[in-house]
């Protein structure tokens, strides 16, 4: 009897783990794709140089999308990842790739959740108060650089975990 009950408990934990894994992967894919689209959108707005208003409006739209959609998706990825770590079968002897994912991935997500809305808001205010188009473009390019850095950090963590580098 005890064996059957422990199997049922283990089975329900595995279902929860698999759901969390699905949510985690879906969140990471959505986050990565969203950041890529936003970086391309901003690059296009700086390349066109039609007017300062379009660049300012593009940055405002991207920043709002980032804060309202990408930050919650990052929180969801972090929550699902933490759930998987808590319910996982790894002990103190967990592999290096999992340690890297756990520590650097979580740190990156926290920095993204806290830092990007603050720094992005600061850049947005600077662009909105600016009249010179070239200064506006350089500020928007800093935001693009921040998005590209985020994409690169995510890509490094994804590659490290996918290949389970030891």
CA distances from 12 to 15, 26, 86, 146 (A): 5, 21, 15, 41
Q: Where are the domains of the chain?
A: 2-162
d(CA 89, CA 95): 12
**What pLDDT was estimated at residue 102?**
81
CA distances from 88 to 21, 28, 35, 45, 102 (A): 11, 19, 29, 45, 12
Asked whether 81 and 42 are in contact (CB, 8 A), the reply is: no
Pick among 1.10.760, 3.30.70, 1.20.120, 1.10.3210: CATH of 2-162: 1.20.120
- Give me the tens of pLDDT residue by residue for the chain, a chain 166 residues long: 456 555 555 566 678 888 998 999 999 999 999 999 999 998 888 877 655 567 888 889 999 999 999 999 999 999 998 888 888 766 667 777 777 778 888 899 999 999 989 998 998 899 888 888 888 888 889 999 999 999 999 999 888 888 887 6
d(CA 90, CA 50): 55
d(CA 48, CA 140): 13
Asked whether 155 and 33 are in contact (CB, 8 A), the reply is: no
């Amino acid at each position: 009897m005890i064996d059957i009950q422990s199997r049922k408990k283990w089975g329900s934990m595995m279902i929860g783990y698999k759901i969390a894994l699905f949510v985690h992967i879906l969140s990471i894919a959505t986050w990565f794709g969203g950041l890529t689209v936003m970086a391309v959108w901003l690059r296009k707005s700086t390349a066109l140089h039609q007017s300062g208003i379009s660049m300012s409006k593009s940055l405002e739209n991207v920043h709002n999308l980032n804060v309202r959609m990408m930050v919650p998706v990052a929180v969801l990825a972090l929550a699902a990842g933490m759930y998987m770590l808590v319910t996982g079968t790894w002990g103190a002897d967990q592999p290096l790739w999992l340690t890297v994912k756990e520590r650097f991935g979580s740190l990156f997500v926290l920095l993204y959740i806290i830092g990007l809305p603050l720094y992005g808001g600061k850049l947005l205010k600077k662009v909105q108060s600016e009249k010179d188009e070239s200064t506006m473009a350089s500020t928007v390019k800093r935001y693009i650089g921040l998005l590209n850095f985020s994409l690169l950090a995510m890509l490094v963590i994804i590659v490290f975990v996918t290949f389970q580098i030891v």
